[in-house]
Amino acid sequence: MTHELKILPQYFWEVWHGNKTFELRKDDRNYVVGDKLLLKEFKDGRFTGCQTLRTITYILKGGLYGLEEGYVILAIN
């Protein structure tokens, strides 16, 4: 499955350059390891046309280690 998600420019470019290899998201889409994230840069209320496709490689679910229940950290490559 591919999830299309908005991402702010400062985070988009860190993912683009390989510095940011995770996403913190609300756990409302039934994410599964192997799913794709289509991250679409969103600035000033509109999409810029820049996007990148990443794969979920690991999921840390909330409720442990200080991560609020109902959220996930998605490791991506």
The rounded percent of the chain whose pLDDT value lies above 90 is 97
Given pLDDT bands bounded at 50, 70 and 90, which one contains residue 9?
Answer: very high
Average pLDDT of the chain? 97
Residues forming a β-bridge with 52: 39
Q: pLDDT at position 32, please?
A: 98
Interval 31-61: pLDDT, tens: 999 999 999 999 999 999 999 999 999 999 9
pTM of the model: 0.92
Strand 2-7, strand 36-43: pairing: parallel
Q: How far apart are CA 56 and CA 33, in angstroms?
A: 5
